[in-house]
Amino acid sequence: MNPPPEVAPTLRRPRRPPPPPYPQAWYEHLQLPVSEGNERAALDELLTATEASLASLSGTVQTDLTTLAEAEPTDREYLFAAVRYAERRALQGLARRIDARTAELGRLEYYQTRRLNALGLQPIETEEELEALRAAGRSYTSNEFDW
């Protein structure tokens, strides 16, 4: 049985595949900072977890280096010290990167600013800009509107 002719166009399959669920711009947008408070909270939480992981490692860097210098490379102590040393170095590097990212939070462009720029609206940042805007004003004429 064939469908009625007026319904047939809606039943046809598209010739090309449907678009992905989200355009690439959305995925890029999700990686950008939302607000300074949000970024600071996320970085603080990450730094706290990093410091807790560092504190949970047994021994010190000096004892690990001593073990690495004195033990045979096939000993378990040597292998454990090598892993601890590598983990400690990675966590310390992460903590430095978190501190650097936290220091640059004031220079990042956040969602609200990106959105205003995308709409072609620039925020008023100085008193002179505000005064210039007030002085320019906006006048309406009767032919501007289609009543």
pLDDT digits (tens, 9 = 90+) for 6-41: 665 555 555 666 666 667 777 777 788 989 999 999
Domain ranges, ordered by start, for the chain: 32-121
Per CATH, domain 32-121 is 3.30.43.10: no
In terms of Cα–Cα distance, which of 89, 83, 98, 110 is closest to 29? 110
Average pLDDT score over the chain: 83
Instruction: Identify the pLDDT of residue 22.
Output: 66
Tell me the CA distances in angstroms from 44 to 29, 30, 32, 49, 142, one per residue in order: 22, 19, 17, 9, 57
DSSP state of 120: T
In terms of Cα–Cα distance, which of 123, 116, 61 is closest to 92? 61
**The two structure tokens encoding residue 11:** 């039943």
